[in-house]
Structure 1
Amino acid sequence: MRYAQGGGLNDVKRAARERVRLEAVGLFEGSAKNREIAVALRVSERSVERWRRQWRERGREGVRSKGSPGRPRLSSCQMARLERELERGPLAHGWADQRWTLARVKTLIGRLFHVSYTVEGTWRLLKRHGWSWQQPARRAIERDDGAVELWKKEVWPQVKARRRPAEPGSSSRTRPASR
């Protein structure tokens, strides 16, 4: 079933839709015709046909809601294992550096659990479990933070040119008045 503007049913509307399907099951058991059921429940005949087929194949459970299509596909145990593996770092999983990218996490999920996520879905999964996006600070290996602080305090004030006060005839953002 498709919905306008890429939308779907929220939990309340999904539950209401399921009540309609279960009501249809009661009418199936009473051997009502599809057209009568569609009119009574104010749904399309095609929906009634589909529900009846699901009911014949799997019984009452066949017409129950499958839940939100966007629900997480990793259980809490799997998520805990994924977090442990992420903490081990990319080197432990065969990558050459210590950066986790979404593509690498997606690949790791596929290797560990044989579940396929998109890169965007991987980001949503991580965000839902408290992970944040971070960009590594690029710093020289030779960096000496103490020397940097000393330079900022002692050398920079001497090097930094003091601003001269604006004087008549100095350049400014406004044009001089034409004579």
Structure 2
Amino acid sequence: MPPMVERDAADVPPLTRPQTAEARRMRAAELLEQGCSQAEVARMVGVSPESVRRWKRRIERGGTAALRRRVASGRPSKLDDAQVERVRTALEQGAQAHGFESDLWTLERVSRVVAAVTGVVLARASVWRLLTVRLGWSLQRPERRAVERDEAAIARWVAHEWPRIKRGP
């Protein structure tokens, strides 16, 4: 028998909402099998009694398997996981590495890089979903600062002039 490896809580990813909901339904099924009333089950798993009644009907028709999560329906993604990782690597190199003037990413620029790296053309909405959902990135806006800005002069003013002005006459 292999030795038991103790896992840190940080090693285990948190449950997603669908996983949590499925676990709640499975727990309710166990409690119903043990003979608990529907009202007790609802109270114990933290749902409405109507949800428990609906789950019980599903169990009667298809067993506890009827309470399992269903695979998400809809059109499959145009990019597989390997392609998404190639896009991530390309984007992390920066926009200038791909021939753009500045290192600022826009949806159009990302779309061009995706097409160059994977050969797949994505709509703007799909590029946004790729960045936010699949890559887990968020919108970042650059700070607007004048090119002529002199940080040393600003620091001197804050250290010397501002206290003098604040003191008053």
Place the TM-score, normalised by the shorter chain, in its bin.
0.3 to 0.5
Structure showing greater radius of gyration is 1
Output the TM-score relative to the length of structure 2.
0.48
TM-score, scaled to structure 1: 0.45
